[in-house]
A and B are shown apart, each in its own frame.
Chain A
Amino acid sequence: MGLDLAALMGILGLTGAFAIVGAVLAAWMAWRIVEKAGLPGWTGLGAVLLTLAVVSSIVPLVLLWVFAFMRWPRDEPAGAAPGYGGAAPAGGPARPAPTRALAPPAAALADRRGWKLVGGLPGGSVALAIDGSATAYVLTGAPAAEPTELSVPDPSVGRPHARLLIAAGRLGLEDLGTAGGTFIDGARLSPEHGPRDISAARAIRLGTVELTLSRA
């Protein structure tokens, strides 16, 4: 009988030791997890202590659900006031949600690179650099007479043929009403269309000359 009692006490002691170690570990890990979510660490510790105080209730379950579906300060925009106060896993009514859960994207840096138009001609090739030093360029079939004229020496290209416009890192194209026509990725650009943004276009056709648009 004495042996049985000792064995029983041993098992109880083992269970108790396991429970204590588990509780300490749980408190430590809960502290770290809620901190990663942006809540103060003591809320995690408090949740575990509360769980221990009301053993075998649904309290830990409720806290887990609240924590899983609540708004985490981590997801708030950086400028928001960190007024999370007591809205921890320990409950409390959720405060009004912010307008967005994720921080707004950083403003995109303007792409300062220039553009280039490359294509083949019956008697050679043509490569035009659009560096953005001017706000408008004229595409012409005649030899370039000015810095803002870009020559595409081909009989099907008008003199002038089209106008390139540069504004705020974007490239525009305007047809000047020629017989050969201007095409953006295969679609006809008419003079009445006015300038079209071709920043995302790949292929420009002037008359019969195919040009590939890319960033310089």
Chain B
Amino acid sequence: MTYVVAWILGLGTLALLVLAIAHLVVALFLIIPTWRICTRAGFSGALSLFHLVPVIGWMIVMAVLAFSDWPNGEASPARR
């Protein structure tokens, strides 16, 4: 019985670890381009680290980029 519990706990920990690493890898692939977008827009690149927040992180980054004035300037409406 003890073995079974330990086995299950170990499996669960492994699964969590794999999930966490996968999340970090995916986040990294999101953070690199987002970092560049943020700096081009005039924000700190660290804003892209919100991608580390699961589920709603991307929404926060997009919302900041979409609904705030870009310090480095935006395209004028005539050019859109």
Task: Tell me the A residues contacting B by CB distance below 8 Å.
Answer: 22, 25-26, 28-30, 32-33, 35-41, 61, 64-65, 67-69, 72-74, 82
Contact = CB atoms under 8 A, between A and B. Distances in A.
B80 A33 contact: no
A32 B66 CA distance: 5
Contacts, number: 68
Interface size class of B (residues with CB under 8 A): 20 to 34
Decide if the interface of chain B is mainly helix, strand, loop or mixed.
Answer: helix
Those 8 A-B pairs whose CB atoms lie nearest each other, nearest first: A38-B75, A68-B33, A29-B66, A32-B66, A74-B75, A36-B74, A29-B62, A68-B36
B30 A28 contact: no
Given A38-B75, A67-B33, A30 B80 contact: no
B30 A64 contact: yes
Nearest to B62: A29
A22 B57 CA distance: 12
Given A26-B58, A32-B65, 6 more contacts: A26-B62, A29-B65, A29-B67, A68-B33, A68-B34, A69-B36
